[in-house]
Amino acid sequence: MKKCLYCQQRNAEQRDTCERCAMPLPASEAVTQARRLSRFQWFCLGLTLFCIAMFFWLPRSFY
Ligand SMILES: [Zn+2]
């Protein structure tokens, strides 16, 4: 089931546009979840690389 973002109408999974208001429907939930997970993995990778860069860039002692 795909829910329309504009009128909350529930549409069949195969539909690309809303049954009631003909607005384009968002991608199915599974695709959205996969995209979100992929973005999160890239964020973690970027954060790790940033930490490694900081580890070598910052001085080892503060005395
Ligand atoms: Zn709609």
Domain layout of the chain by residue ranges = 2-57
Q: Confidence class of residue 63 from pLDDT cuts 50, 70 and 90?
A: low
Q: Which residues of 4-22 are buried (b: 16+ CB within 10 A; e: fewer)?
A: beeeeeebeeeeeebeeee
Neighbours of ion ligand 1 (CB under 5 A): 4, 6-7, 9, 18, 20-21
Please state the pTM of the whole predicted model. Answer: 0.50
How high is the pLDDT of residue 62? 63
Q: What is the 40 CA–ligand 1 centroid distance (Å)?
A: 30
| Alpha-carbon span 59 to 13, nearest angstrom | 55
pLDDT tens digits, one per residue of 25-43: 887 777 788 899 999 999 9
